Amino acid sequence: AYEPKPEHKFTFGLWTVGNVGRDPFGLPTRPPLEPDYIVYKLAEIGAYGVNLHDNDLIPVEATEAERERILKRFKKALQDTGLVVPMATTNLFGDPAFKDGAFTSPDARVRAYALQKTMRAMDLGAELGAKTYVFWGGREGAEVDAGGNVLDALAHYREALNFLAEYSEDQGYGYRFALEPKPNEPRGDIYLPVVGAALGFIATLDKPHLFGLNPEVAHETMAGLNFVHAVAQAIDAGKLFHIDLNDQKMGRFDQDLRFGAENLKTAFFLVKLLEDSGYDGPRHFDAHALRTEDEAGVWEFAKGCMRTYLILKEKAERFGRDREIQDLIGAYKVQDEALARLTAKYSRENARALKGLEFDREALGRRGPGLERLDQLTVELLLGVR
Ligand code: GCO
Ligand code: MN
Ligand code: MN
Ligand code: MN
Protein backbone atom coordinates (compact mmCIF):
# COMPACT_ATOMS: atom_id res chain seq x y z
CA ALA A 1 0.00 0.00 0.00
CA TYR A 2 0.99 3.61 -0.64
CA GLU A 3 3.55 2.47 -3.15
CA PRO A 4 4.20 5.16 -5.76
CA LYS A 5 3.82 4.04 -9.36
CA PRO A 6 4.23 5.94 -12.64
CA GLU A 7 0.42 5.99 -13.07
CA HIS A 8 0.27 8.35 -10.06
CA LYS A 9 2.19 10.91 -12.14
CA PHE A 10 4.60 11.99 -9.45
CA THR A 11 7.39 14.18 -10.77
CA PHE A 12 10.44 15.90 -9.29
CA GLY A 13 12.72 18.59 -10.66
CA LEU A 14 16.41 17.92 -11.18
CA TRP A 15 16.83 20.96 -8.92
CA THR A 16 14.71 19.47 -6.11
CA VAL A 17 16.30 16.11 -5.30
CA GLY A 18 19.51 17.59 -6.70
CA ASN A 19 19.41 20.47 -4.22
CA VAL A 20 22.83 20.70 -2.53
CA GLY A 21 21.64 22.46 0.60
CA ARG A 22 23.04 25.92 -0.07
CA ASP A 23 21.28 28.79 1.70
CA PRO A 24 21.93 32.54 1.95
CA PHE A 25 24.10 31.96 5.02
CA GLY A 26 25.80 28.68 4.31
CA LEU A 27 27.64 26.60 1.76
CA PRO A 28 26.32 23.39 0.20
CA THR A 29 26.02 20.48 2.60
CA ARG A 30 25.65 17.78 -0.08
CA PRO A 31 27.59 17.00 -3.25
CA PRO A 32 25.75 17.54 -6.55
CA LEU A 33 24.10 14.51 -8.21
CA GLU A 34 24.44 13.80 -11.93
CA PRO A 35 21.19 14.26 -13.93
CA ASP A 36 21.19 10.71 -15.28
CA TYR A 37 21.84 9.29 -11.79
CA ILE A 38 18.79 11.25 -10.57
CA VAL A 39 16.69 9.72 -13.34
CA TYR A 40 17.64 6.15 -12.35
CA LYS A 41 16.99 6.87 -8.67
CA LEU A 42 13.62 8.49 -9.34
CA ALA A 43 12.56 5.53 -11.45
CA GLU A 44 13.60 3.20 -8.64
CA ILE A 45 11.32 4.93 -6.14
CA GLY A 46 8.30 4.98 -8.46
CA ALA A 47 8.26 8.47 -9.95
CA TYR A 48 6.69 9.18 -13.33
CA GLY A 49 8.85 11.98 -14.56
CA VAL A 50 11.58 14.52 -14.10
CA ASN A 51 11.45 18.25 -14.87
CA LEU A 52 14.25 20.67 -15.48
CA HIS A 53 15.53 24.16 -16.03
CA ASP A 54 17.80 24.44 -19.07
CA ASN A 55 20.89 24.81 -16.88
CA ASP A 56 20.00 21.97 -14.49
CA LEU A 57 21.00 19.76 -17.40
CA ILE A 58 23.20 21.84 -19.69
CA PRO A 59 25.58 24.25 -17.94
CA VAL A 60 25.30 27.74 -19.36
CA GLU A 61 28.89 27.71 -20.64
CA ALA A 62 28.70 24.20 -22.19
CA THR A 63 30.06 23.80 -25.72
CA GLU A 64 27.98 22.19 -28.45
CA ALA A 65 29.94 18.95 -28.01
CA GLU A 66 29.40 18.93 -24.25
CA ARG A 67 25.71 19.58 -24.76
CA GLU A 68 25.45 16.57 -27.05
CA ARG A 69 27.34 14.35 -24.64
CA ILE A 70 25.16 15.31 -21.66
CA LEU A 71 21.95 14.97 -23.68
CA LYS A 72 22.91 11.53 -24.90
CA ARG A 73 23.46 10.23 -21.37
CA PHE A 74 20.29 11.84 -20.10
CA LYS A 75 18.17 10.46 -22.94
CA LYS A 76 19.60 7.02 -22.37
CA ALA A 77 18.58 7.18 -18.71
CA LEU A 78 15.05 8.22 -19.77
CA GLN A 79 14.90 5.38 -22.25
CA ASP A 80 16.24 2.80 -19.78
CA THR A 81 13.72 3.79 -17.11
CA GLY A 82 10.66 4.99 -19.03
CA LEU A 83 10.71 8.27 -17.10
CA VAL A 84 9.29 11.23 -19.01
CA VAL A 85 10.02 14.97 -18.99
CA PRO A 86 6.54 16.52 -18.84
CA MET A 87 7.66 20.05 -17.96
CA ALA A 88 10.58 22.28 -18.79
CA THR A 89 11.49 25.80 -17.76
CA THR A 90 14.24 28.42 -17.96
CA ASN A 91 16.70 29.54 -15.35
CA LEU A 92 16.13 33.29 -15.57
CA PHE A 93 17.23 33.99 -12.02
CA GLY A 94 20.70 32.61 -11.27
CA ASP A 95 22.83 34.70 -13.59
CA PRO A 96 23.78 38.19 -12.32
CA ALA A 97 22.63 39.45 -15.74
CA PHE A 98 19.08 38.88 -14.45
CA LYS A 99 19.58 40.63 -11.11
CA ASP A 100 17.01 43.31 -12.02
CA GLY A 101 14.64 41.09 -13.95
CA ALA A 102 14.66 39.07 -17.18
CA PHE A 103 11.55 39.70 -19.31
CA THR A 104 10.80 42.77 -17.18
CA SER A 105 14.32 44.19 -16.96
CA PRO A 106 14.53 47.90 -17.73
CA ASP A 107 17.56 47.04 -19.90
CA ALA A 108 16.54 46.11 -23.46
CA ARG A 109 19.67 43.96 -23.83
CA VAL A 110 18.75 41.84 -20.83
CA ARG A 111 15.21 41.42 -22.12
CA ALA A 112 16.47 40.30 -25.52
CA TYR A 113 18.92 37.87 -23.93
CA ALA A 114 16.13 36.46 -21.74
CA LEU A 115 14.03 35.79 -24.85
CA GLN A 116 16.95 34.14 -26.62
CA LYS A 117 17.74 31.95 -23.59
CA THR A 118 14.09 30.94 -23.23
CA MET A 119 13.71 30.01 -26.90
CA ARG A 120 16.78 27.78 -26.62
CA ALA A 121 15.42 26.24 -23.43
CA MET A 122 12.09 25.64 -25.18
CA ASP A 123 13.97 23.85 -27.97
CA LEU A 124 15.63 21.65 -25.35
CA GLY A 125 12.35 20.93 -23.56
CA ALA A 126 10.63 20.04 -26.83
CA GLU A 127 13.48 17.71 -27.75
CA LEU A 128 12.89 15.90 -24.45
CA GLY A 129 9.14 15.70 -25.02
CA ALA A 130 7.94 18.38 -22.58
CA LYS A 131 4.40 19.63 -23.17
CA THR A 132 4.17 22.13 -20.32
CA TYR A 133 6.46 25.12 -20.12
CA VAL A 134 6.67 26.96 -16.81
CA PHE A 135 7.37 30.63 -16.25
CA TRP A 136 8.43 31.33 -12.70
CA GLY A 137 9.38 34.99 -12.65
CA GLY A 138 11.71 34.81 -9.69
CA ARG A 139 13.63 37.95 -10.62
CA GLU A 140 10.69 39.73 -12.23
CA GLY A 141 10.13 42.23 -9.47
CA ALA A 142 11.72 44.99 -7.44
CA GLU A 143 13.12 46.02 -4.08
CA VAL A 144 12.45 49.71 -4.64
CA ASP A 145 10.00 51.45 -6.94
CA ALA A 146 12.14 54.52 -7.48
CA GLY A 147 12.95 53.29 -11.01
CA GLY A 148 9.31 53.75 -11.96
CA ASN A 149 9.35 50.45 -13.78
CA VAL A 150 6.11 48.75 -12.74
CA LEU A 151 3.83 49.60 -15.66
CA ASP A 152 6.70 49.16 -18.13
CA ALA A 153 7.54 45.85 -16.52
CA LEU A 154 4.03 44.53 -16.99
CA ALA A 155 4.03 45.66 -20.62
CA HIS A 156 7.39 43.99 -21.23
CA TYR A 157 6.23 40.83 -19.49
CA ARG A 158 3.21 40.67 -21.80
CA GLU A 159 5.36 41.31 -24.86
CA ALA A 160 7.72 38.47 -23.90
CA LEU A 161 4.97 35.94 -23.20
CA ASN A 162 3.20 36.82 -26.46
CA PHE A 163 6.49 36.47 -28.36
CA LEU A 164 7.25 33.06 -26.83
CA ALA A 165 3.75 31.71 -27.41
CA GLU A 166 4.12 32.58 -31.09
CA TYR A 167 7.53 30.95 -31.15
CA SER A 168 6.07 27.74 -29.71
CA GLU A 169 3.26 27.68 -32.27
CA ASP A 170 5.61 28.55 -35.13
CA GLN A 171 7.92 25.66 -34.19
CA GLY A 172 4.96 23.30 -33.71
CA TYR A 173 5.98 22.58 -30.12
CA GLY A 174 2.40 22.70 -28.84
CA TYR A 175 3.44 23.89 -25.40
CA ARG A 176 0.92 24.93 -22.79
CA PHE A 177 2.44 27.67 -20.63
CA ALA A 178 2.04 27.76 -16.87
CA LEU A 179 2.73 30.94 -14.92
CA GLU A 180 3.98 30.35 -11.39
CA PRO A 181 3.18 33.24 -9.05
CA LYS A 182 5.20 33.98 -5.94
CA PRO A 183 4.91 37.04 -3.69
CA ASN A 184 8.60 37.59 -2.90
CA GLU A 185 12.01 35.88 -2.68
CA PRO A 186 14.38 36.35 -4.30
CA ARG A 187 13.00 39.83 -5.12
CA GLY A 188 11.60 42.03 -2.38
CA ASP A 189 8.36 42.04 -4.37
CA ILE A 190 7.68 39.84 -7.37
CA TYR A 191 5.22 40.93 -10.09
CA LEU A 192 2.10 38.78 -10.44
CA PRO A 193 2.46 37.80 -6.77
CA VAL A 194 -0.46 35.39 -6.39
CA VAL A 195 -2.70 33.10 -8.43
CA GLY A 196 -5.43 35.71 -8.82
CA ALA A 197 -2.98 38.27 -10.21
CA ALA A 198 -1.66 35.79 -12.78
CA LEU A 199 -5.19 34.85 -13.85
CA GLY A 200 -5.98 38.51 -14.41
CA PHE A 201 -2.80 39.01 -16.44
CA ILE A 202 -3.44 35.98 -18.65
CA ALA A 203 -6.67 37.56 -19.83
CA THR A 204 -4.61 40.43 -21.32
CA LEU A 205 -2.39 38.17 -23.47
CA ASP A 206 -2.79 37.63 -27.22
CA LYS A 207 -3.44 33.89 -26.87
CA PRO A 208 -4.83 33.42 -23.38
CA HIS A 209 -5.91 29.83 -24.12
CA LEU A 210 -2.24 28.79 -24.24
CA PHE A 211 -1.59 30.12 -20.73
CA GLY A 212 -2.55 28.75 -17.34
CA LEU A 213 -1.18 28.43 -13.83
CA ASN A 214 1.46 26.49 -11.95
CA PRO A 215 0.43 27.31 -8.38
CA GLU A 216 2.72 26.34 -5.51
CA VAL A 217 1.69 25.51 -1.95
CA ALA A 218 4.55 27.49 -0.42
CA HIS A 219 3.99 30.59 -2.51
CA GLU A 220 0.35 31.31 -1.65
CA THR A 221 1.14 30.33 1.94
CA MET A 222 3.96 32.89 2.07
CA ALA A 223 1.37 35.46 0.98
CA GLY A 224 -0.87 34.37 3.85
CA LEU A 225 -3.50 32.98 1.49
CA ASN A 226 -5.52 29.77 1.41
CA PHE A 227 -3.82 27.55 -1.18
CA VAL A 228 -6.79 25.25 -1.65
CA HIS A 229 -8.94 28.24 -2.56
CA ALA A 230 -6.32 29.48 -5.01
CA VAL A 231 -6.15 26.10 -6.75
CA ALA A 232 -9.94 25.90 -6.83
CA GLN A 233 -10.06 29.25 -8.60
CA ALA A 234 -7.50 28.07 -11.14
CA ILE A 235 -9.53 24.89 -11.74
CA ASP A 236 -12.74 26.89 -12.03
CA ALA A 237 -11.11 29.04 -14.71
CA GLY A 238 -9.87 25.94 -16.57
CA LYS A 239 -6.34 27.11 -15.85
CA LEU A 240 -4.73 24.47 -13.65
CA PHE A 241 -1.99 23.43 -16.08
CA HIS A 242 0.53 22.15 -13.52
CA ILE A 243 1.07 22.19 -9.76
CA ASP A 244 4.06 22.55 -7.41
CA LEU A 245 3.55 20.61 -4.19
CA ASN A 246 5.59 21.26 -1.07
CA ASP A 247 4.96 22.80 2.33
CA GLN A 248 5.70 26.01 4.18
CA LYS A 249 5.19 27.74 7.50
CA MET A 250 3.23 30.94 7.06
CA GLY A 251 5.21 34.16 7.41
CA ARG A 252 8.64 32.59 6.97
CA PHE A 253 11.33 32.55 4.29
CA ASP A 254 10.76 30.18 1.37
CA GLN A 255 11.17 26.76 3.00
CA ASP A 256 10.32 24.17 0.32
CA LEU A 257 9.42 21.57 2.93
CA ARG A 258 8.44 17.98 2.14
CA PHE A 259 4.81 17.75 1.01
CA GLY A 260 2.53 17.50 4.04
CA ALA A 261 5.34 18.27 6.49
CA GLU A 262 3.66 21.34 7.93
CA ASN A 263 -0.03 21.88 7.13
CA LEU A 264 -1.56 18.43 7.01
CA LYS A 265 -5.15 19.58 6.81
CA THR A 266 -4.41 21.89 3.90
CA ALA A 267 -2.53 19.05 2.20
CA PHE A 268 -5.53 16.78 2.73
CA PHE A 269 -8.06 19.19 1.23
CA LEU A 270 -5.64 19.92 -1.61
CA VAL A 271 -5.25 16.25 -2.51
CA LYS A 272 -9.00 15.81 -2.23
CA LEU A 273 -9.58 18.78 -4.54
CA LEU A 274 -7.07 17.54 -7.13
CA GLU A 275 -8.47 14.02 -7.09
CA ASP A 276 -12.15 15.08 -7.09
CA SER A 277 -11.64 17.64 -9.84
CA GLY A 278 -10.22 15.10 -12.28
CA TYR A 279 -6.95 17.05 -12.63
CA ASP A 280 -4.82 14.63 -14.60
CA GLY A 281 -1.54 16.52 -14.88
CA PRO A 282 1.67 15.73 -13.03
CA ARG A 283 1.84 15.95 -9.24
CA HIS A 284 5.14 17.77 -9.14
CA PHE A 285 7.10 18.12 -5.91
CA ASP A 286 8.98 21.40 -5.90
CA ALA A 287 10.70 20.97 -2.58
CA HIS A 288 13.99 19.72 -1.23
CA ALA A 289 15.42 17.74 1.64
CA LEU A 290 16.34 19.63 4.78
CA ARG A 291 19.82 21.13 4.64
CA THR A 292 20.76 18.85 7.53
CA GLU A 293 20.40 15.71 5.39
CA ASP A 294 22.82 13.58 3.41
CA GLU A 295 21.88 11.72 0.22
CA ALA A 296 19.98 9.05 2.13
CA GLY A 297 17.85 11.85 3.57
CA VAL A 298 17.19 13.17 0.06
CA TRP A 299 15.56 9.90 -1.01
CA GLU A 300 13.66 9.68 2.27
CA PHE A 301 12.38 13.17 1.50
CA ALA A 302 11.31 12.19 -2.03
CA LYS A 303 9.61 8.98 -0.92
CA GLY A 304 7.91 10.87 1.90
CA CYS A 305 6.34 13.40 -0.50
CA MET A 306 4.77 10.64 -2.61
CA ARG A 307 3.78 8.44 0.31
CA THR A 308 2.03 11.29 2.09
CA TYR A 309 0.16 12.15 -1.11
CA LEU A 310 -1.04 8.55 -1.48
CA ILE A 311 -2.05 8.31 2.17
CA LEU A 312 -4.03 11.54 1.87
CA LYS A 313 -5.61 10.26 -1.33
CA GLU A 314 -6.80 7.19 0.55
CA LYS A 315 -8.08 9.42 3.37
CA ALA A 316 -10.00 11.46 0.80
CA GLU A 317 -11.65 8.29 -0.50
CA ARG A 318 -12.49 7.30 3.05
CA PHE A 319 -13.96 10.79 3.63
CA GLY A 320 -16.20 10.22 0.61
CA ARG A 321 -17.38 6.84 1.94
CA ASP A 322 -17.89 7.92 5.57
CA ARG A 323 -21.67 7.86 6.13
CA GLU A 324 -21.74 10.25 9.05
CA ILE A 325 -19.51 12.77 7.30
CA GLN A 326 -21.52 12.54 4.09
CA ASP A 327 -24.82 12.90 5.97
CA LEU A 328 -23.47 16.00 7.71
CA ILE A 329 -22.42 17.47 4.37
CA GLY A 330 -25.83 16.58 2.96
CA ALA A 331 -27.53 18.46 5.76
CA TYR A 332 -25.10 21.37 5.48
CA LYS A 333 -25.94 21.97 1.82
CA VAL A 334 -29.63 22.81 2.03
CA GLN A 335 -31.37 21.96 -1.25
CA ASP A 336 -34.53 23.58 -2.58
CA GLU A 337 -35.30 22.80 -6.19
CA ALA A 338 -37.98 25.41 -6.67
CA LEU A 339 -35.69 28.17 -5.40
CA ALA A 340 -32.72 26.83 -7.35
CA ARG A 341 -34.78 27.11 -10.55
CA LEU A 342 -35.58 30.72 -9.74
CA THR A 343 -31.99 31.75 -9.05
CA ALA A 344 -30.16 29.71 -11.68
CA LYS A 345 -30.63 32.17 -14.51
CA TYR A 346 -32.03 35.64 -14.87
CA SER A 347 -35.38 36.20 -16.50
CA ARG A 348 -37.94 38.90 -15.80
CA GLU A 349 -40.34 36.27 -14.49
CA ASN A 350 -37.74 34.78 -12.17
CA ALA A 351 -36.77 38.21 -10.89
CA ARG A 352 -40.41 39.14 -10.27
CA ALA A 353 -41.16 35.86 -8.51
CA LEU A 354 -38.04 36.17 -6.36
CA LYS A 355 -38.88 39.72 -5.33
CA GLY A 356 -42.31 38.55 -4.22
CA LEU A 357 -41.08 35.78 -1.93
CA GLU A 358 -41.05 35.96 1.84
CA PHE A 359 -38.06 34.60 3.78
CA ASP A 360 -37.88 33.68 7.45
CA ARG A 361 -34.72 35.70 8.01
CA GLU A 362 -34.54 34.92 11.71
CA ALA A 363 -34.81 31.18 11.18
CA LEU A 364 -32.02 31.38 8.58
CA GLY A 365 -29.82 33.19 11.08
CA ARG A 366 -30.60 30.73 13.90
CA ARG A 367 -29.62 27.59 12.07
CA GLY A 368 -26.31 25.97 13.05
CA PRO A 369 -24.89 24.26 9.97
CA GLY A 370 -22.94 21.60 11.92
CA LEU A 371 -19.45 22.55 10.85
CA GLU A 372 -17.87 21.94 14.26
CA ARG A 373 -18.87 18.28 14.16
CA LEU A 374 -17.95 17.93 10.50
CA ASP A 375 -14.51 19.44 10.98
CA GLN A 376 -13.82 17.37 14.11
CA LEU A 377 -14.70 14.20 12.20
CA THR A 378 -12.28 15.31 9.47
CA VAL A 379 -9.55 15.71 12.07
CA GLU A 380 -10.32 12.32 13.57
CA LEU A 381 -10.24 10.73 10.16
CA LEU A 382 -6.84 12.31 9.51
CA LEU A 383 -5.58 11.20 12.91
CA GLY A 384 -6.47 7.63 12.03
CA VAL A 385 -9.10 6.94 14.71
CA ARG A 386 -11.91 6.81 12.17
C1 GCO B 1 11.08 28.78 -6.07
C2 GCO B 1 10.27 28.33 -7.27
C3 GCO B 1 11.07 27.55 -8.29
C4 GCO B 1 10.31 27.28 -9.57
C5 GCO B 1 11.21 26.66 -10.59
C6 GCO B 1 10.49 26.15 -11.79
O7 GCO B 1 10.48 29.12 -5.07
O8 GCO B 1 12.31 28.80 -6.14
O9 GCO B 1 9.21 27.58 -6.79
O10 GCO B 1 11.49 26.35 -7.71
O11 GCO B 1 9.23 26.44 -9.35
O12 GCO B 1 12.14 27.60 -10.97
O13 GCO B 1 9.93 27.15 -12.48
MN1 MN C 1 8.92 27.82 -4.63
MN1 MN D 1 11.80 27.68 -3.40
MN1 MN E 1 7.93 26.21 -7.75
Instruction: Specify the pLDDT at position 149.
Output: 85
For the question of residue 294 being annotated catalytic, the response is no
Rounded to the nearest angstrom, the distance between the alpha carbon of 221 and the centre of ligand 2 is 10
In tens, the pLDDT along 154-184 reads: 999 999 999 999 999 999 999 999 999 999 9
Ligand nearest to the CA of 13: 1
Check pLDDT > 90 for residue 127: yes
Atom 10 in ligand 1: residue holding the nearest Cα: 286
Q: Which helix (H) or strand (E) holds 253?
A: none
Evaluated on CA atoms 214, 218, 224, 230, the torsion sign reads: positive
Mean pLDDT along residues 73-79: 98
Mean pLDDT along residues 99-122: 98
DSSP bridge partners of 213: 179, 240
Q: What distance in Å separates the CA atoms of residue 232 and residue 236, rounded to the nearest whole number?
A: 6
Catalytic residue among 36, 54, 56, 100: 56
Mean pLDDT along residues 215-226: 98
Does 8 belong to an annotated binding site?
A: no
Does 322 belong to an annotated binding site?
A: no
Task: Name the E strands within the chain.
Answer: 10-13, 49-53, 87-89, 132-136, 141-142, 176-180, 189-190, 211-213, 244-245, 283-285
Compute the half-sphere exposure of residue 57: CA atoms within 13 Å on the CB side of its CA: 28
Percentage of the chain with pLDDT > 70? 100
Rounded to the nearest angstrom, the distance between the alpha carbon of 16 and the centre of ligand 3 is 9
Instruction: Specify the pLDDT at position 90.
Output: 99
Q: Is there a contact between 274 and 215 (Cβ–Cβ < 8 Å)?
A: no
What's the mean per-residue pLDDT of the chain?
A: 98
Q: Is there a contact between 291 and 21 (Cβ–Cβ < 8 Å)?
A: yes
Rounded to the nearest angstrom, the distance between the alpha carbon of 178 and the centre of ligand 4 is 11
- From residue 124, give the alpha-carbon distance in Å to each of 10, 87, 182, 344: 22, 11, 25, 48
Whether residue 136 has its Cβ less than 6 Å from ligand 1: yes
Catalytic residue among 8, 23, 36, 53: 53
- Cβ-Cβ contacts under 8 Å for 244 (sequence gap 6 or more): 180, 214, 215, 216, 217, 218, 219, 284, 285, 286
Q: Which of 216, 222, 254 to mutate to test the pocket of ligand 1 (most atoms within 8 A of CB)?
A: 216
Percentage of the chain with pLDDT > 90? 99
Q: Which atom of ligand 1 is nearest to the CA of 244?
A: 11
For the question of residue 53 being annotated catalytic, the response is yes
Q: Is there a contact between 181 and 140 (Cβ–Cβ < 8 Å)?
A: no
Q: Which atom of ligand 1 is nearest to the CA of 134?
A: 13
Mean pLDDT along residues 214-220: 98
Rounded to the nearest angstrom, the distance between the alpha carbon of 180 and the centre of ligand 4 is 7
Mode of pairing for the β-strands spanning 283-285 and 189-190: unpaired
Q: Which atom of ligand 1 is nearest to the CA of 16?
A: 10
Residue 367, phi then psi, degrees to nearest 5: -65, 130
Does 216 belong to an annotated binding site?
A: yes
Q: Which of 15, 180, 221, 248 to mutate to test the pocket of ligand 1 (most atoms within 8 A of CB)?
A: 180
Ligand 3 is an ion; its neighbours by CB within 5 Å are 254, 256
Instruction: Specify the pLDDT at position 227.
Output: 98
Atom 1 in ligand 1: residue holding the nearest Cα: 138
Instruction: Specify the pLDDT at position 305.
Output: 99
Whether residue 246 has its Cβ less than 6 Å from ligand 1: no
Question: For residues 200-212, b (16+ Cβ closer than 10 Å) or e, as one string?
Answer: ebbeebeeeebbb
Structure ipTM over 0.95, yes or no: yes
Rounded to the nearest angstrom, the distance between the alpha carbon of 333 and the centre of ligand 3 is 39
Query: In 10 A of CB 278, how many CB atoms?
Result: 7
Assign 148 a pLDDT band (cuts: 50, 70, 90).
Answer: confident
Residue from 77, 71, 40 nearest 57 by CA: 71
Q: Is there a contact between 232 and 269 (Cβ–Cβ < 8 Å)?
A: no
Residue from 220, 125, 139 nearest 167 by CA: 125
- Cβ-Cβ contacts under 8 Å for 116 (sequence gap 6 or more): none
For residue 57, give the amino acid letter. L
Whether residue 286 has its Cβ less than 6 Å from ligand 1: yes
